Structure 1
Amino acid sequence: MKRVILLLLVMVLIPMVSAEISLEQPDSLYNFGDELNMDIIVRASSPSEGFLITNIFCGNSSYEIFRSYLSLDPEEEFNEEVNFVFGNSLNLLDQDECYVKATFDYEEVESQRFQVSRRIAMGVSSAKRIFEPGERVNLDGTATKINGEPVNGIVDVEISPTNLTLPFIVRDGNFAANFTIPEDISGALRIHFFSYEEDRNGVLTNKGTFDLEVSVRQTLKSIELEVQEGDIIPGKDISIKAKMLDQAGLEMVGDLSLNIIDPDRNSYSQNVIKAGEEFIFETETGFQPGYWKIEVSVGETVTNKLIYLEEINDLVFKLANGTLFVTNIGNVAYSGPIEVTVGSENIVKQIEVGPGETASYRLSAPDGNYQVEVKKSGEEFSLGTTPLTGRVIGVGGGGFDFVWGNNLAIWIFLVFMLALAILMVHYRKGIAKEMALLRRAKKKSVPGNSLVSSGHKVEAGFLVLDIDNNSEILSNIIQRAKSYKAGVSYDGTHRIMLFAPHLTNEKDNSTLTVKVAKEIEDIINIYNMKHSNQINYSIGAGLGEIIAEKKEGKLKFVSVGNIMSSTKRLATEAKNEILISGKLKEKITGTEFKLGKSKVEGVWKVEGVRRERETHKKFIRDFLDKN
């Protein structure tokens, strides 16, 4: 009994092996699309039969790759090569760990672990890392699967921040990519490479990426200038800011040259400013009115803006030692009346004071203390009380920065010396004649006999021309203007033409002013049609009042109001055109001239002549024949 039990125990402990299974070991790495080739050998040690089943396990998934029914005699051997492709249909995850397991007649065996991946390793080389806008970029790259095999597929090159994506062929693991950097890109440029392979159905199998960053050098393309808008009152600060913009419209860091140019095209100040930082231009009340140019530049890149400094017509009054001092603290000449009240008597005095000048006027009145007030343009100025002497209340002539003071002895001495000189010269000519001469001498010595008091107020046409310097054209233009009896003068780059009744013998010169402006424009346009070097011009025309007097064949005049500066302003606004004031437009409406609105409110432009009169046609024909 004991022997039977022992025999049964030995039979249980000794495994009963009927067959042996051998597997060829796989590689350690596979890419999608690779084929697994494995030999399976089954050798029977005793009669064996059943299914030989082979499975592949990846992660939590398993796939049967071989099944065959075997019936083997002792020492009989079965040998089979198993082929398996890692395709997309298996739904394997990237880099899953896998193994193969074979079973037969209660016998099983597992292979070593291996990995299945979609990964492609990439490398890209570039000869340089800093490029110019518009430069050609050439890049060489490699693409190798994780199993060490070269890639044969496609690489997409995506260039950021552009939306440009370019495909290139990868052959035997190598590729060459090239593209041109856009002209409007600057700074960091990110180049993203995406390499991939596809199966026969066009489904992606393996993939890899690589990123390369290069830099595109900034190139100055423009300057953005920010200046206070609208008309500016002199004495106010003006904020100026300039930005340097590259080819992508991004701000650059650097210095700019700032040049501030006055209305006469003279450089007032030059500074170096930082891009993007505010610069304050401090104006003064005495600054010349008109268009000032704010110009900033870096090398040959220049931009500018015009600002208009308004006219300031302002006077300051001061009373000292019986003398009224009038100082012009504005930026234009003051010509007009002021009302001086001495005690209870009002005296209107016509005065002329240039910018920054001081005129003095001697006050006189019967001996006593008097309250003095001055009125100008509705404003009243109380100057206090001062002692005065004299026979009658009066305001003497204007002198500039020279005052005798309130010294009666000096005045008596001067009168005595004058009378003595006259008596010595004319002693023998009789008392009556001497008295007449004294009266005439006194009359001549009375100050205030200026153009304003002796001239006549008339309406005149003003024409201001601003043109490129061309002696031939200028000579023709001046000659043409003078043929219409225009007065011609120069103010910086401006050619000023005056059409006044004293010169043209015409009471209304509005039509004549525009006619001459149109003929000047025709002269320039005809020249431009026949020559390659084009001439730029600006013409402004206006109508206003002047106080004029003609002596010895020469006209002396003073403009009333701001007609001169406003006409200059029209010429500055004009760009190869004729601009006229609203007042002049009203006068010539209904004539042969075609008028249109300009971009400036209240200003009109001359667009042509409605009907070409014979005289105008003849003028054009003659000028063409001569030139």
Structure 2
Amino acid sequence: MNMKREALIALILMSLFLINFVSADIFLVSQPKEVYNYGDYLEVILGSDGSDGKTTIDLVCGQGSMNIYSQYLHLETEIPITFPFSSNFLKGLTGECYLSMDFEGNIKKSSTFLITNKMNVDVKFNREDFFTNENISFTGTASKANKQPVNGAAKINVNKIDLESIVPVEDGKFSGYILFPEDTKSGEYNMEVYVYETKDDQTTNFDNKTFSLTVLQMPTSLEISSLDGVDPGSEMTYSAMLYDQAHDSMEGFPVAINIYDVNSQIIKSILPKTGESSKLIIPKNAPYGQWNMTAESEKIAVNKVFYVRENKEAEFEITNRTLIIRNVGNVPYDKIIQITIGNTTKIQHLNLSTAGSLLLELSAPDGIYDVEVNDGDVKANAKVSLTGNAVDVRSPYDNSALGFMSKGFFAWVFVFIVLGVFIFIFVMKVYKKKSVLFFDGSLPKKKEEGKGGVVKLSSPTGPGTPYNKHQIEYVSSEALPSLVLDGEKQDSSVITLKVRNYEQLKSNRSNAASAIEEAVKEISENRGKIYRKDDSIVGIFAPVITKKFDNEVSAVKVAKKISELLNEHNKRYAHKIDFGIGVNNCHIIASKDRGKLLFTPVNNSISGVRTIADLAKNDFLLGEAIHKKLGAKVKTAPHSHKGLKTYAVLDIVERKTDDAFIRGFLDRNKEYKDNRPRFQK
């Protein structure tokens, strides 16, 4: 009986124990949040039914697990648990995680949550391409994965040039600017933006973004490349190069280049590209000294001085029995030349001014001779047929005193004869005229009916007129600069046609050359004489040739016609003629020899007309001297170029003076109109 009672008591106690064990439980009153960043706190409440027992909680993530709570519970029903998710605590655990709870072998899991050290960063720049002298401003926002704003710092780094800037991040916002060094090379650069948070000197959360920016080329300097010194008659190569902030070349940009001579006269203006080479032919007679070259591109202007050296050079031309020596250099030609005729050598001491020339006559006993001229640098030779008594070289204007006297004597005799004949004819005409003092009262006879009023004029050349078959008039269109000793000082009208692209047209072999020749014919067709030099053609209207003293209107009309012909060519053809025409009056010492005009300019007056031609742009301009003489015969518009007055012709006033004179005469003498007698009784 006692044994049954003890067994029953034991069974009851065991049942009570089992009931208590089964009912013991733990749980989470509040589940973890969905996302945690490093630096956050895990805050949960562990619930229990008050049972006693050992409880452990483990943090389980993909990379591993760690125990975060271990405690023996005794009658507790709610236990708050807080854990810091710091770097030191987590030791690198990130990703999808959960809490594993163990109460006396009874295991439960929490909901999953994310632990991360990442954040979301967005950065905006004010521009993606920029110059090095411009600030690059930026603004950005940063938020953690748990949607909380970042409080930390942002580091902007350009590794390629070791550029770094750090700005604070407050409440998830940051801003600032960076400035690249001025000599940074152009190109693309990667800019890294690193945003981070720290706690206890440990980086908790961070994000790294990379952006691409472009540094542009900024022109900083312009350099002219050319020789420092050039020889006249040579070709100079030059170019201009633009450089950026890193002194890297910038090719293909337009650059305006102007070249000035020693007198600040513009010689050439072109618009090539940077890096392109251009060429300039320095004429043999280019003025020596310091020339200037300017270049401008991208608002940067520079200049370079180069030196044109002296050139003492002459050109020898042997034509028939004449040796013409021209100074083609840029300084006076004061050299000794050797002239060899056959086996005989003559020495001449020369001193020719710039652009001067000298004409020498060669003579020798009749025969054909090898003639050579040599100044040590330039040599010319030709086979020439000569006549004379002895080998000689002299100027055709060199005469002995007797010759001069005899020539002067006969000249004066001729002048007096012409003057006497003129006076005799004038007196006879006056004598034969009817005078009012001898009027006899008779009336002029009326014209007979049916008869016209035609007066028959006879030619002065009749059967009785003597004719000299040996009288020959030499005709030539050439004007030759020379030292004229026995000429007259005359005020002459001069036209200078300057073709600026003469060398280019010559090398292209275009039809422009024939167009120029056709236009220049206007000079000779209007009784002018032509002198050619390099890229200029000079037309001279001297009284000794034209037989009249007022040649101004003729010169202006010829210049206008030449301008019209050349501009008409430019409208029709691809090869344009870049020209300018100057017209002015000049004083020259002139004489006529075998149809040619020999002349010596006075005070470089003809070179002044060339200066006017340089100023004209595919048109013609008048100088001040001819403008004064023309007066109201032309309508003009004044211009001024660095103190030099010129005039553009607007219109040429055509006045028919003969018609006006006749009409005035008839108006004053009405008796000729109505056939009434001049005097009545």
| TM interval, short-chain normalised | 0.5 to 0.7
Counterparts in 2 of 1:22-61, with a 5 A limit?
Answer: 22-23=27-28, 24-43=30-49, 49=53, 51-61=54-64
Q: Which residue of 2 aligns with 1:342?
A: 341
SS, match of residue 264 in structure 2: coil
**Per-residue deviation, residues 28-47 of structure 1 (Å, max 9, x unmatched):** 22211111122333558xx8
Counterpart amino acid of residue 62 in structure 2: G
Supply the distance in 2 between the matched residues of 1:93 and 1:242 (Cα, whole angstroms).
Answer: 63
Counterparts in 2 of 1:532-551, with a 5 A limit?
Answer: none
State the Cα distance separating 1:134 from its structure 2 match.
5.8
Supply the distance in 2 between the matched residues of 1:307 and 1:175 (Cα, whole angstroms).
Answer: 57
- Tell me the number of residue pairs that the alignment of Structure 1 and Structure 2 aligns: 392
User: Are residues 228 and 191 of structure 1, via their aligned partners in 2, closer, same or farther at CA, if it must alter by over 3 Å?
Assistant: same
Using the size of structure 1 for normalisation, the TM-score is 0.53
Q: Which residue of 1 aligns with 2:108?
A: 109
User: Are residues 87 and 256 of structure 1, via their aligned partners in 2, closer, same or farther at CA, if it must alter by over 3 Å?
Assistant: same
User: Are residues 114 and 250 of structure 1, via their aligned partners in 2, closer, same or farther at CA, if it must alter by over 3 Å?
Assistant: farther
Counterpart amino acid of residue 238 in structure 1: M
**Per-residue deviation, residues 335-389 of structure 1 (Å, max 9, x unmatched):** 2111111121111011234566553321111222222222322x58462432211
Of 297-306 and 259-268, the range deviating more from structure 2: 297-306
Is 1:232 the equivalent of 2:230?
A: yes
Counterpart amino acid of residue 165 in structure 1: E
Supply the distance in 2 between the matched residues of 1:165 and 1:398 (Cα, whole angstroms).
Answer: 90
**Per-residue deviation, residues 302-352 of structure 1 (Å, max 9, x unmatched):** 211122233333334332212223344444332211111112111101123
Is 1:155 the equivalent of 2:154?
A: yes
Supply the distance in 2 between the matched residues of 1:358 and 1:424 (Cα, whole angstroms).
Answer: 28
SS, match of residue 89 in structure 1: helix
Q: Which residue of 1 aligns with 2:391?
A: 393
User: Are residues 158 and 382 of structure 1, via their aligned partners in 2, closer, same or farther at CA, if it must alter by over 3 Å?
Assistant: closer
Supply the distance in 1 between the matched residues of 2:216 and 2:38 (Cα, whole angstroms).
Answer: 42
State the Cα distance separating 1:261 from its structure 2 match.
0.8
Supply the distance in 1 between the matched residues of 2:289 and 2:135 (Cα, whole angstroms).
Answer: 50
Supply the distance in 2 between the matched residues of 1:211 and 1:110 (Cα, whole angstroms).
Answer: 40
SS, match of residue 384 in structure 2: strand
User: Are residues 93 and 358 of structure 1, via their aligned partners in 2, closer, same or farther at CA, if it must alter by over 3 Å?
Assistant: farther
State the Cα distance separating 1:392 from its structure 2 match.
1.8
Counterpart amino acid of residue 25 in structure 1: Q
User: Are residues 357 and 389 of structure 1, via their aligned partners in 2, closer, same or farther at CA, if it must alter by over 3 Å?
Assistant: same
1:256–1:272 Cα contact (<8 Å) kept:
yes
1:359–1:398 Cα contact (<8 Å) kept:
no
Counterpart amino acid of residue 385 in structure 1: K
Is 1:119 the equivalent of 2:125?
A: no
State the Cα distance separating 1:78 from its structure 2 match.
5.1
Q: Which residue of 1 aligns with 2:272?
A: 273
1:260–1:270 Cα contact (<8 Å) kept:
yes
Is 1:62 the equivalent of 2:68?
A: no
Q: Which residue of 1 aligns with 2:99?
A: 100
State the Cα distance separating 1:284 from its structure 2 match.
3.6
State the Cα distance separating 1:270 from its structure 2 match.
1.7
Counterpart amino acid of residue 391 in structure 1: N
User: Are residues 169 and 300 of structure 1, via their aligned partners in 2, closer, same or farther at CA, if it must alter by over 3 Å?
Assistant: closer
Using the size of structure 2 for normalisation, the TM-score is 0.49
Counterpart amino acid of residue 206 in structure 2: K
Q: Which residue of 2 aligns with 1:601?
A: none
State the Cα distance separating 1:243 from its structure 2 match.
3.2
Counterpart amino acid of residue 153 in structure 2: I
Counterparts in 2 of 1:605-616, with a 5 A limit?
Answer: none
**If you compute each CA radius of gyration, which structure gives the higher value, 1 or 2?**
2
2:26–2:46 Cα contact (<8 Å) kept:
yes
1:53–1:64 Cα contact (<8 Å) kept:
yes
User: Are residues 423 and 53 of structure 1, via their aligned partners in 2, closer, same or farther at CA, if it must alter by over 3 Å?
Assistant: closer
Supply the distance in 1 between the matched residues of 2:127 and 2:329 (Cα, whole angstroms).
Answer: 63
Counterparts in 2 of 1:357-396, with a 5 A limit?
Answer: 358-377=357-376, 381=379, 383-396=381-394
1:21–1:108 Cα contact (<8 Å) kept:
no
1:155–1:193 Cα contact (<8 Å) kept:
yes
2:64–2:93 Cα contact (<8 Å) kept:
no
Of 253-262 and 135-144, the range deviating more from structure 2: 135-144
1:94–1:118 Cα contact (<8 Å) kept:
no
Supply the distance in 1 between the matched residues of 2:194 and 2:93 (Cα, whole angstroms).
Answer: 17
Is 1:195 the equivalent of 2:200?
A: no
User: Are residues 85 and 136 of structure 1, via their aligned partners in 2, closer, same or farther at CA, if it must alter by over 3 Å?
Assistant: same
SS, match of residue 224 in structure 1: strand
Supply the distance in 2 between the matched residues of 1:216 and 1:290 (Cα, whole angstroms).
Answer: 44
SS, match of residue 335 in structure 1: coil
User: Are residues 18 and 250 of structure 1, via their aligned partners in 2, closer, same or farther at CA, if it must alter by over 3 Å?
Assistant: farther
Counterpart amino acid of residue 392 in structure 2: G
State the Cα distance separating 1:220 from its structure 2 match.
4.8
What is the CA RMSD across the aligned residues, in angstroms?
4.3
SS, match of residue 274 in structure 1: coil
Counterpart amino acid of residue 64 in structure 2: S
Q: Which residue of 1 aligns with 2:87?
A: 88
State the Cα distance separating 1:215 from its structure 2 match.
7.5
Alignment partner of 2:241 out of 240, 243, 257: 243
Supply the distance in 1 between the matched residues of 2:203 and 2:407 (Cα, whole angstroms).
Answer: 124
Structure 1: state its 5+ residue gaps: 1-15, 405-410, 427-446, 451-627
Supply the distance in 1 between the matched residues of 2:343 and 2:162 (Cα, whole angstroms).
Answer: 86
State the Cα distance separating 1:99 from its structure 2 match.
2.6
**Per-residue deviation, residues 56-96 of structure 1 (Å, max 9, x unmatched):** 133323221112245x7xxx665433322222225755853
User: Are residues 348 and 68 of structure 1, via their aligned partners in 2, closer, same or farther at CA, if it must alter by over 3 Å?
Assistant: same
SS, match of residue 198 in structure 1: strand
User: Are residues 372 and 139 of structure 1, via their aligned partners in 2, closer, same or farther at CA, if it must alter by over 3 Å?
Assistant: closer
1:396–1:448 Cα contact (<8 Å) kept:
no
SS, match of residue 273 in structure 1: coil
User: Are residues 398 and 375 of structure 1, via their aligned partners in 2, closer, same or farther at CA, if it must alter by over 3 Å?
Assistant: farther
2:124–2:138 Cα contact (<8 Å) kept:
yes
1:48–1:105 Cα contact (<8 Å) kept:
no
SS, match of residue 108 in structure 1: strand
More strand, by proportion: 1
User: Are residues 307 and 64 of structure 1, via their aligned partners in 2, closer, same or farther at CA, if it must alter by over 3 Å?
Assistant: same
Of 207-216 and 274-283, the range deviating more from structure 2: 207-216
SS, match of residue 81 in structure 1: strand
SS, match of residue 255 in structure 2: strand
Supply the distance in 2 between the matched residues of 1:94 and 1:238 (Cα, whole angstroms).
Answer: 77
Counterpart amino acid of residue 57 in structure 1: V
User: Are residues 211 and 104 of structure 1, via their aligned partners in 2, closer, same or farther at CA, if it must alter by over 3 Å?
Assistant: same
User: Are residues 235 and 208 of structure 1, via their aligned partners in 2, closer, same or farther at CA, if it must alter by over 3 Å?
Assistant: farther
State the Cα distance separating 1:148 from its structure 2 match.
0.9
Q: Which residue of 1 aligns with 2:141?
A: 142
**Per-residue deviation, residues 4-62 of structure 1 (Å, max 9, x unmatched):** xxxxxxxxxxxx96754424432222211111122333558xx874x422221333232
Q: Which residue of 2 aligns with 1:7?
A: none
Supply the distance in 1 between the matched residues of 2:46 and 2:403 (Cα, whole angstroms).
Answer: 150
Q: Which residue of 1 aligns with 2:204?
A: 205
Counterpart amino acid of residue 64 in structure 1: N
Q: Which residue of 2 aligns with 1:594?
A: none
Supply the distance in 2 between the matched residues of 1:208 and 1:166 (Cα, whole angstroms).
Answer: 16
